[in-house]
Structure 1
């Protein structure tokens, strides 16, 4: 805590581990490990959370350096001030926004930053540093129904952790959907069979882009009554792997196994006839026979031809394709929003069907984001016209 440097010295360092997976820590410019941060980040080793926490935490530690604050002297009001600064869009009573020249944190990022800072300072308190701040952060609240449902023996649960740094709860309703005619426009502007496959699988399967780029050929069971015997219809297994060469991985971490050359377990998703058609079109026309990694999506040009395709490259392709189609900037995740909305409409609002089709952990997420009356719904229009005296 006495290791002083000028602002901007701290940096995130990526470490390559045996087995092909990565971990993240925070270093000083001379290569010394920031001990307190490293100890906290090691608790999340092997998960995607570690990378997110590393970049959120290094930003906070740089701010502490600018404010000349030591970890042992930080108070709750300092953390509240920091949370206000990283989310500020304009100058306010607390001063100029931190991260000047960069986009302020959005609501979800603020929630994640609050969880990161609380965990970090509670970890310090356990080690005997800044125990008063740890006491102020270790708040509890009455458990909600969702807390009880998630917990083993939830009916006897009496309290749940609370975070005084977290932003106020905000409902994420009305997600950004695709414009009308987007599917045909995107397919018409896709330049390769691989890109047409990506568009079709995103729209018909509701995949996250990390899930799609993390698929292996062995995960695809595209015929009826596949050897896994876990689904009678064509499907795919989404398996969380840490060692993918393109570093893409599924968000969900359901257990899976490779038994006698057959994948079982993971998150099972059905595939449409159009998905199967675009898959065979891609495999027979563009997939390199020399690829030895077994992953589905590959780079088609350049020095890296045949290498696994990264999620960032897929997002870049999608952005270029959407601009060529005259649709503006569209992200792959908008396809997932559109998929969930379409499934809910077709299933008459059945949350269980939408949850399983999209692979969400609970119906609460689906209900909070997607389960609402569309603003153009005829029933809503009729009700408002009655209220307005037009019917």
Structure 2
């Protein structure tokens, strides 16, 4: 079995699962159609095909799968379960991390609940369709958490509290990268990732009309220079913003989307890029901000994979090792938290997070190299500060 990408006439993409002979896996396709047109469909397709391959190996029909089988599968891909697992699965591949395990649990639960709604293995669907009391995080995430008496629970999801420790950029990474990169476009990329906290898909998906880099722009939604992150699933470089805020164009002006402030350095690198001869004025035709500078695709939209490779090469040349775009976002959010005395709402809005609870989970912990933290430990240890 394999995942098949489907190109639509409107420019949108969908994903389904095919049998080896090329026919559509009907049960998987019906489930994936529920998430048509979203990034979730692609993620679920790749997670589900692995599970379906495992079912084939175990000779398990959908009607015969038990909750213990699903728990065993979660153990196969990296979850902590206390039971015999049988033959190894995904030999030679790393186990899933916490986020991938949570996504897998949601995908598998959703697939079997969909099967149960069609009358297949209703007993398993009942065991998966559990509830729990709303937690403090639920109340932070949504006002509905205050009035709901029960929240959906997933017996396959990873258990216990979890605090992520994101990988930050090394000290001085921005300056060393700016000295290493070879073009105004690449300097723009580094500066906008560092000062804007943008995801790489958001940055590569920007159009020129999304940029309002002067005071009191015509959109009237922000007095300061800013940009609008708009979700466009039909971008020619396949760059998509994760957030899907509604937006529109009225009289040539973009309104809505996710509004993010821009720094003077971001404005400077933008004009350096556009006036330095690298951007093919009038020749692009697509209106996107970042374009390829070399090769047969010169002037065409720059794909996120190209930006990642450029950063990786620049990081190795500057002695920083492999630099990933998302490390800029981690460093940006952590710096905003430090500058705002830990204000989660400011960090949430500056980074475009959906929830302050997510910011608290990922970034709301003390830096072990913080001077106050160091002084407190030295006091406990009885050493001079």
TM-score bucket of the superposed structures, by smaller chain: over 0.9
Q: CA deviation at 1:171?
A: 2.5
Of the candidates 286, 291, 296, which is equivalent to residue 289 of structure 2?
296
Q: Which position in structure 1 is the counterpart of 2:214?
A: 223
Unaligned residue ranges in structure 2 (runs of 5+): none
- Cα 1:169–1:334, aligned 2, differ >3 Å: closer, same or farther? farther
How do 1:118-133 residues align onto structure 2 when only pairs under 5 Å count?
Answer: 118-133=109-124
Of the candidates 377, 381, 384, which is equivalent to residue 384 of structure 1?
377
Q: CA deviation at 1:15?
A: 0.6
Q: Which position in structure 1 is the counterpart of 2:204?
A: 213
Q: Which position in structure 2 is the counterpart of 1:141?
A: 132
* Separation of aligned partners in 2, 1:235 and 1:151: 27
Secondary structure, aligned partner of 2:68: helix
Is 1:287 aligned to 2:261, yes or no?
no
8 Å contact kept, 2:102–2:157: yes
8 Å contact kept, 2:219–2:255: yes
Q: CA deviation at 1:181?
A: 1.3
TM-score (ref. length: structure 2): 0.95
Q: Which position in structure 2 is the counterpart of 1:39?
A: 30
Deviates more, 1:296-305 or 1:226-235: 296-305
| Alpha-carbon displacement from aligned partner over 1:98-117 (angstroms, at most 9, x marks no partner) | 21122221110000000000
Of the candidates 86, 96, 99, which is equivalent to residue 108 of structure 1?
99
Is 1:198 aligned to 2:168, yes or no?
no
Q: CA deviation at 1:366?
A: 1.2
* Separation of aligned partners in 2, 1:96 and 1:330: 37
8 Å contact kept, 2:141–2:355: no
Is 1:311 aligned to 2:307, yes or no?
no
8 Å contact kept, 1:86–1:97: no
Q: Which position in structure 1 is the counterpart of 2:46?
A: 55
Secondary structure, aligned partner of 1:72: helix
| Alpha-carbon displacement from aligned partner over 1:240-267 (angstroms, at most 9, x marks no partner) | 1111111111111111110111000111
8 Å contact kept, 1:122–1:137: yes
Q: Which position in structure 1 is the counterpart of 2:2?
A: 11
8 Å contact kept, 1:21–1:242: yes
* Separation of aligned partners in 2, 1:365 and 1:227: 33
* Separation of aligned partners in 1, 2:144 and 2:263: 39
* Separation of aligned partners in 2, 1:259 and 1:169: 48
* Separation of aligned partners in 1, 2:272 and 2:355: 35
* Separation of aligned partners in 1, 2:256 and 2:349: 14
Secondary structure, aligned partner of 1:367: helix
Q: Which position in structure 2 is the counterpart of 1:274?
A: 265
TM-score (ref. length: structure 1): 0.94
8 Å contact kept, 2:141–2:357: no
8 Å contact kept, 2:366–2:373: yes
Q: Across the two proteins, how many residue pairs are aligned to each other? A: 380
* Separation of aligned partners in 2, 1:79 and 1:214: 38
* Separation of aligned partners in 2, 1:246 and 1:170: 38
* Separation of aligned partners in 2, 1:220 and 1:97: 51
8 Å contact kept, 1:171–1:369: no
